[in-house]
């Protein structure tokens, strides 16, 4: 990996550490409960969560709207952030199911754990890890969800291979993300901040 890509990964981490620790500070993109509602989350469902849970929401869409989660499902939330999608998924799959959240920043993982307690869900677990090296066993996941993470991953084929490794036969991915409609030049890819803007 080039030095500039290493720096971009560091910049991405720093950006989301700031969202975790300083949700009231000016951010580069919309965050919080108002952003979740604009992205199609049910307003009543968002309003029912404690404010501390939604203040660091940093998603770009609503992966939970892309398919039904069934009671008993095991859900993997890749790039779980502060845990909003994980908590909502945990409520949908109920105590027979479970949700595993993975995030690359320790600060977001701590916040997600605290948020799950505040929201009263007990069928979640959160781990520090990266999308291309998921701390999850082979073939154990029914549904993998992700919200605004794949666009930040440097090796997308490796990430997708990792997701397919952890999915059970018949499992699926529900992903909300952003994408470019044209190719970037090498200079644009290497530009400081390009991966975290």
Residue 177: CB atoms within 10 A of its CB come to: 17
Q: Which CATH topology does 3-179 take?
A: Rossmann fold (3.40.50)
Distances (CA, A) of 132 to 56, 86, 152: 24, 19, 12
Report whether pLDDT(197) > 50: no
Judge whether 175 and 159 are in contact, CB under 8 Å.
no
State the Cα–Cα distance between residues 186 and 55, nearest whole angstrom.
Answer: 35
pTM, full prediction: 0.88
**71 phi, psi to nearest 5 deg:** -55, 130
Mean pLDDT, all residues of the chain: 90
pLDDT value at position 3?
Answer: 62
Q: What ranges do the domains of the chain cover?
A: 3-179
């Amino acid at each position: 990996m080039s030095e500039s890509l290493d720096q971009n990964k560091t910049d991405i981490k720093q950006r989301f550490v700031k969202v975790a620790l300083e949700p009231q500070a000016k951010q580069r993109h919309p965050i919080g409960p108002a952003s979740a509602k604009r992205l199609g989350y049910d307003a009543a469902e968002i309003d029912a969560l404690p404010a501390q849970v939604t203040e660091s929401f940093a998603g770009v869409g609503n992966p939970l709207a892309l398919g039904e989660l069934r009671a008993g499902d095991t859900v993997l939330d890749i790039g779980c952030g502060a845990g909003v999608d994980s908590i909502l998924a945990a409520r949908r799959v109920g105590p027979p199911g479970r949700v595993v959240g993975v995030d690359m920043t320790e600060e977001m993982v701590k916040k997600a754990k605290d948020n799950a307690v505040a929201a009263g869900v007990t069928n979640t677990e959160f781990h520090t890890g990266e999308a291309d090296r998921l701390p999850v066993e082979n073939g154990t996941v029914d549904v993998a969800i992700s919200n605004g993470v794949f666009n930040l991953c440097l090796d997308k084929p490796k990430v997708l291979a990792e997701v397919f490794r952890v999915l059970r036969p018949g499992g699926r991915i529900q992903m909300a993300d952003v994408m470019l409609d044209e190719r970037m030049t090498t200079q644009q890819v290497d530009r400081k901040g390009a991966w975290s803007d």
